[in-house]
Amino acid sequence: MFEIDPDIRKAKTLHADFYTDPAYFELSKEKIFARSWQFLARADDIEGVTPFVILPGMFDEPVITVKTSEWISCLSNVCTHRGKILVEEPCHADLIRCPYHGRRFLLSGKMISMPEFEDVEDFPSEADDLKMLPFAERQGFLFASLEPVDAFEAFVGDVAERFADDEYDASALRLTDRREYEIDAHWALYCENYLEGFHIPYVHKALNAVVDYGSYTTETFRFSSLQTGLGDDGKVAARYLFIFPNLMFNFYPWGISVNVVRPVSPSKTVVEFLTYVRDESLMEKGAGADLHAVELEDEAVVESVQKGIRSRFYKHGRYSPTREQGTHHFHRLIAEFMK
Ligand code: FES
Ligand SMILES: [Fe+2]
């Protein structure tokens, strides 16, 4: 079931059951999503104590980020007494007090006091502190994980080297737009469509006019892949960085569009689009213009595939060795994580 030949010329694509069988969707929660990294926000966009939910619709895991002048961390947002959510709104605080029975925690997560608990044995213990999540910051982007298979550095260190000489300066980015698209398709179908430019001439006629399809390249790394499209002028028109399993960082001359793919059910996915702009004047030009139209074209084709893979006559396909390296790499990682 989860065998994808490392040789793309011999390999068959992921079996249709992966997308259609609800049991695999359930399994993928722990096997894939709990063990990888999720994007939270940019450090510039949070202050003090900020509540977040990790993967709404899948885990709904309540967490908070804590930002002080010296450090940022990510803690569980669930009181260790009887489970009340601690922080409902972003706030500035020196400590966290549970609104239910008054348990208090330091910003480090350590529990420091609890009324009416004098006679409780073996209290407090470590289990009464708020759990601190594995957390990472890279170029001002913040990430957390539930139980990562590897450090965030291992997820992006190799591909980041590829960016070393580049002009992409993350410091001046401003969040200007945030929107969600709901798609009637399995999350992996959305991702694997993103991972190949093969469909651009067929599905995205307008985009095809500004990207030189012949020069489109895909490089794969341990847990990520990078697609690069050149413009007619021979300059990089767009870079598409995918971090397994569901994060997309799209680099355009104007800034970065971040897409977070959130599985909701085997046939429903929400994709969050976060627009971080550096230079607004460049937004109407090139591959990074009119992302909304491109998104609708992608959604239509992915929703059509969702219907197609249910067919009794479809089990899996084959890959183009020159155009589908990113999709092959993605399927290999799914197979690896699902084992
Ligand atoms: S649930 Fe937090 S103090 Fe009781
Ligand atoms: Fe597309």
Asked if pLDDT for residue 165 goes beyond 60, the answer is no
Indicate if ligand 1 lies below 6 Å from the C-beta of 79.
yes
For ligand 1, mutation pick of 77, 97, 103, 120 (most atoms within 8 Å of CB): 103
Rg (CA), the chain: 22
Indicate if ligand 1 lies below 6 Å from the C-beta of 138.
no
The DSSP secondary structure of 135-197, one letter per residue, reads: EEEETTEEEEESS-SS-HHHHHHHHHHHHTTS----TT-EEEEEEEEEESS-HHHHHHHHT-S
Which residues lie across from 228 on neighbouring strands?
217, 239
Position 123 scores a pLDDT of 98
Indicate if ligand 1 lies below 6 Å from the C-beta of 97.
no
Q: Where are the domains of the chain?
A: 1-35+170-339, 37-147
pLDDT single digits (tens) 192-242:
999 999 999 999 999 888 888 788 899 999 999 999 988 878 888 889 999
Instruction: Name the H helices within 204-240.
Output: 205-208
Position 286 scores a pLDDT of 78
| 285 confidence band (pLDDT: 50, 70, 90) | confident
Chain centroid, CA 152 distance in Å: 12
Asked if pLDDT for residue 80 goes beyond 90, the answer is yes
> What is the residue-averaged pLDDT of the chain?
95
**What number is the average pLDDT over the span 279-293?**
85
Position 319 scores a pLDDT of 98
pLDDT single digits (tens) 1-45:
789 999 999 999 999 999 999 999 999 999 999 999 999 999 999
Distances (CA, A) of 261 to 63, 194, 197, 298, 326: 19, 11, 18, 14, 17
Q: Which CATH architecture best describes the domain 1-35+170-339?
A: Alpha-Beta Complex (3.90)
pLDDT single digits (tens) 138-152:
999 999 999 999 999
Position 284 scores a pLDDT of 83
| 166 confidence band (pLDDT: 50, 70, 90) | low
Q: Which residue type does 59 have? A: F
CA atoms within 13 Å, Cβ hemisphere of 243: 24
Taking the whole predicted model, whether its pTM rises above 0.85 is answered as: yes
37-147 folds as Rieske Iron-sulfur Protein (2.102.10)
